[in-house]
């Protein structure tokens, strides 16, 4: 397992809700492009269903991380791009299936006017540091 340090609330910064303010470690950097709710054949999963889309996106992230020799334990940052912030609870639920609350990465959530296709409700990218 990677020896990452998490600082949930640095001095003088309001406590984090559903993320960690600072995560750092030493090792190999892995960047995973924004993942969409597509299955391995490129078909949309869960059209109109944020929970199904979030589960597929996290499964795609898991597979991409594994291809680089990483796991969700190595993730230091997630960025959520959502067309509606009402989808954040579904994303948090899917994230909880892969990342326990005591190992939450740094995170940003960005509401966007739209994604590359209108049926996509979210896109999520990850940054990881794999132990040397």
DSSP string, 5-50: EEESS-TTSPPPSSS-SEEE--SEEEEEEEE-SB-TTS-BSSTT-H
Number of domains in the chain: 1
> Which residues make beta-bridge pairs with 38?
44
- Give the whole-angstrom CA distance, residue 38 versus residue 60: 8
Supply the CATH number for residue 111's domain: 3.30.1330.40
**Domain membership flag for residue 4:** no
Contact criterion met (CB below 8 Å) for 51 and 93: yes
**Domain membership flag for residue 15:** no
User: In terms of residue numbers, what domain contains 92?
Assistant: 27-130
The two tokens of residue 41 are: 């054949």
The two tokens of residue 114 are: 């739209």
Contact criterion met (CB below 8 Å) for 48 and 42: no
Model pLDDT for residues 8-61, shown as the tens digit of each residue: 889 999 988 889 899 988 899 999 999 999 999 999 999 999 999 999 999 999
- Give the whole-angstrom CA distance, residue 53 versus residue 46: 5
Interstrand relation of 5-7 and 75-82 (parallel, antiparallel or unpaired):
unpaired
> Which residues make beta-bridge pairs with 82?
111, 122
Model pLDDT for residues 120-130, shown as the tens digit of each residue: 999 999 999 99
**Domain membership flag for residue 113:** yes
pLDDT for the residue 9? 85
> Which residues make beta-bridge pairs with 78?
107, 126
pLDDT for the residue 2? 65
């Amino acid at each position: 397992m990677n020896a990452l340090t998490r600082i949930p609330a640095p001095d003088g910064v309001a406590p984090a809700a559903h993320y960690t303010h600072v995560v750092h470690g030493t090792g190999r950097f892995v960047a995973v492009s924004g993942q969409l709710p597509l299955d391995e054949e490129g078909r949309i999963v869960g059209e109109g269903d944020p929970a199904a889309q979030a589960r597929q996106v996290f499964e795609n992230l898991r597979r991409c991380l594994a291809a680089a020799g990483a796991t969700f334990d190595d993730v230091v940052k997630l960025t959520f791009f959502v067309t509606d912030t009402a989808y954040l609870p579904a994303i948090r639920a899917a994230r909880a299936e892969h990342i326990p609350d005591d190992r939450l990465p740094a995170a940003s959530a960005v509401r966007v006017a739209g994604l590359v296709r209108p049926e996509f409700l979210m896109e999520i990218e990850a940054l990881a540091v794999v132990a040397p």
